Structure 1
Amino acid sequence: MTLRLPGADGSLRAHTPRADPLVCAPGPPPRSRTVLAAAHVVADPRADPSGPPAVDWDATLAFRRHLWSYGLGVAEAMDTAQRGMGLDWPTAAELIRRTAAEARAEGGALVCGVGTDQLPAPAAAHDRVPPAGHGPAPAAVRDRGPAPLAAVRRAYTEQLALVEEAGARPVLMASRALAAAARGPEDYLDVYGELLRQSSGPVILHWLGPMFDPALHGYWGSPDLDRATGTLLELIAAHPDRVDGVKISLLDAGRETELRRRLPAGVRCYTGDDFHYPELIAGNQSDFSHALLGIFDPLGPLAADAVRALDRGDTPAFRARLDPTVPLARHLFGPPTRHYKTGVVLLAWLAGHQSHFAMVGGLQSARSLPHLARAYELADGLGLFPDPALAEARMRSLLAVYGVGA
């Protein structure tokens, strides 16, 4: 049977669901690259989306076991888990504790996000979008009383201690509060330098671009990306033994390639580029990126299988596996990029990893029905649904809710 899927122009197109799912076998972690999937959280669908965040812990942890079973590591409490978009710090802290306990039981690799989201948001994200000239944020936004740098340090320190106590590797996430409070590059060097000196082991630094969060415009002290890169490299050069790697989420393959070539020996580049990940991960024998990606939440089994081809030295097989997934990734992460989580959760529901399509904060409504229909169509074409009939039935039910006949 066919589905009639809606387009953005109001038209309906016929889609015949794929009958044969892609089959990928569970396996050990890849050897040639470190591969981390930033995982989403499963909401409690009965909770009031305007109230405190409510998580379905059983389904959330089951999804992490799914990722570990295919050899991927889990990047926990990152932006894919709706940090700063519905998931508050107390709930994120509980998520870190529970996932860390599960990782110990399963023997799974785990890194966890460290941020400053205990602090009040300095301004709404949309208010912090810079003007067309890419200058600083308007004075009306700057003067909203950002948290002082001392408060930013304390917030980071609290979260760093919790992650390390849980036994996970910290990922020092980009901070809206720091972006609002910092006067220039020296404040970033001061805050991050103190955190690196405090850490008990190497951490992963995270540069999240403003396409993911407009409040992070001008991170590392300048809207000029060359200057910002210089500040980041200065920080790493001062603490090379404290930095495991850098996750770059700028959606700019050329800039990532240039940056990773300038990193000190032993410091890894983790691609967070959900547009160009196949070419960046492939690289060559001496120059390549590892992966910490939100798109590997829905692509987990396929991604692990592809990277194992690199273990065998078979780059063409890796590209043949992963290149066809890029249209889906570009669709899910299309503007406004910060709402990519909606498509990720849709695919988890269609794949049977959760019983509903609901999100913390009601963000299942952040994307249009045509966007969701296209996500289903692309994922189905890749064979991502273990039970295509279940995915088809669930997609039909979603279309019916919107009044679109199948």
Structure 2
Amino acid sequence: MTDTVFRASRILTPDGEVAGWVAVDDGVITEISDSPLTGRDTVELADDEVLLPGLVDTHVHVNDPGRTEWEGFETATRAAAAGGITTLVDMPLNSVPPTTDLAALAVKRATARGRVHVDVGFWGGAVPGNLGDLVALHEAGVFGFKCFLPPSGVDEFANLAPDELAAVLRLLHGIGALTIVHAEDPARITEATGRHYADFLASRPRAAENTAIAQLVSLASAADARVHVLHLSSAEALPVIAAARRDGVAITAETCPHYLTLRAEDVPDGATEFKCCPPIREAANQDLLWQGLADGTIDCVVSDHSPSTADLKRFDTGDFGAAWGGIAGLQLGLPAMWTEARARGVPLERVVGWMSAAPADLVGLRRKGRLAVGHDADLCVFAPEHSFTVDAGRLHHRNPVSAYHGRTLTGVVRSTWLRGEPVTGRPRGRLLVRGLA
């Protein structure tokens, strides 16, 4: 007899949707059957619920330590669990210190230990002057290295010049490490001030992304390095990425729920909760991003959860130039995506694949992201036909700021399970090391 059995009329497996039973023993899925299974505990899903694999979010700014008033491990991982996410990978900024050397990684892990409600891994950072730290960070188990081509927005995490990025790519190719890149060309970004969203959008045009991604492709090809484009916003870059792959460049790309569900035409002037970099673009661009997902040019969908305190959003003036750029969307990614996908006729299994298996594969999490035998029993109970209206004040994020506030979304996460146990008030998450999870 196994520890727990889940019974559901809809179970989303890698082979498609089935009805039946899922057995869990010692935190691992041991059997999926269309015949009855028995366990010490049985969890019966309601007829309106679907059993999904726990989502994997590889782009989260927890901001802890140093800027815990912006978020923090406890609140971020509670929000993640409430959104059906069972694994996240924390970005090397905007914490202080940033995760750019072994000492900073030790501080990060010590800060997170015992406080996380889901499993958490860590990215390292590549900044000017820390080339000599990257091998040690890789050996310590970070999942790869993030860098910026434009200024990052925080002084302690400087951007790389093209020759610096080339040196990083050569080094990381030699040790088989992944480089993830915020790709916007700083020469094509202008300063925008004022309340008009159209002015902010014009200050970070698609050309800034297109040029930077083309440069990244050239550098990656020369170094034979593996690279990943973060938070793709410009659909005009999709042919460049597709062509690079045909030419043998090891390049992948992600986009985010806010680029796939929010539209520039709908952003009111002064509504700085919508500010992010690169920016939310027009509806026609969004349609092409969905096509890029459908044809596989875009690999995965992750949150780029980048929160701040409300005062940094400058709601007092509504000045897009002065406001912090970042969308707080960790808890709402699945319902936001499913609401839009449903309207477009995209099946739930594709949405879940983009948000679970694909990001797990990106970072080499072999036991995550799939509801399959031998994988961790990280599960989400989801009611896809039920709707709710977002109230930013009731989210688990530390600060009540959300670009989705007041929106009606379809799809409710009813419970989340980590290694076969429900995520409740006691932190049970583990700190993950690349290659061992």
Structure 2 length normalisation: TM-score?
0.43
Higher strand residue share = 2
Higher helix share: 1
TM-score (ref. length: structure 1):
0.45
